[in-house]
Structure 1
Amino acid sequence: MTQRVDLSTVMDRLSIDAVITGYAVAVDDGAWPDYRALFTKEGRADYRTAGGIEGPAAEVAQWLSETMLLFPVRQHLIVNRRLDLQDLGGYPGDRARVQADYMNPMRLMSGPDGDPGSADRPTAPNFVSGGRYAFELLRTDDGWRIQGVTVHEKWRSLSDVLTAR
């Protein structure tokens, strides 16, 4: 490989990492237009192992926008990312796969008005799940985009909805 190819590969890896991070931030912040923008036009998402749906990214984003109302506080932690960039005889291709573990603590809605808590009545991170994402990405004219993501939930834990002081 030449230095130019090496640099291109590093730039691809950084760009792909930014897409994966953008995915977590979009879900956590409820930024559904940003979520949809991370996918190719034909992109799909599969949340069935976590009790969700599978389908085109736009439909899944709509489902997420409704479902995540139950969890006003979310924070994905995506770690142990293993990236396999397509190799075309020593040159990077236009496809990549990322396998990454996740842990996702969330707070359920509490109180009659849906307030997730206040200084005198906090909630605990009362729903936590973990597992592994499998991302398939394509290089597009707009940069790297998700062609597909599959959630492989391995575990979940529920705790008390409200923590008393």
Structure 2
Amino acid sequence: MLTEFVRDQAFAIAWLSLMAAGWFGWSQEDPKPRLRGWLGAGSVIGMLLTVAFGILVWRNWSTPTALDGRYGVFVLVIVAEAVLIGGGCIVLARRKQTRWYGWWIGLCVALHFVALVWVFEDWSYLVLTIVQVIGLALMVPVLRRGMYQTSRWACPWIAVTFLLFAIVSGIDFLVKHGYPF
């Protein structure tokens, strides 16, 4: 996230780092064995960034936020995302295609950032969406041929893009603000 709101940027870095750690964890569902160490390292890096920037969120909680006057829209976006994810997973379960959960949820998560572009007035979320969706789309042919969980490739892709987005945003944050204690 690239914004003038200190709290929002610190929160986005902390949250996306935490989400990266979680997606790296989900990637452990059915990975290629040689990737386990890399996936674990990604989770650790995500958690370390979460703690570092979570402290900044706490210390800057009373500062202005782009969400002022938009909390309802933000909640609506999150609820819509959850309904879309849940509905899609129900359809996949009924079709006995649960191996596609990782890919489907990754797609829904990526697409919800389109709405957040307007909620936070931050076009960098659109870049994140485009990168994530292109990656997910490109892996469909390979995933269709495989018999493994789609989390093998979809979840690391979402995790890596979240972590890289958080790192770039973190560098931007540190250049603009330092690490304000």
Could you say whether these structures have the same fold, taking a TM-score greater than 0.5 normalized by the shorter chain as the test? no
TM-score by length of 1: 0.31
Q: Structure 1 or 2: larger strand share?
A: 1
- Give the TM-score normalised by structure 2: 0.29
Q: Give 1 or 2: higher helix fraction.
A: 2
Structure with the greater alpha carbon radius of gyration: 1
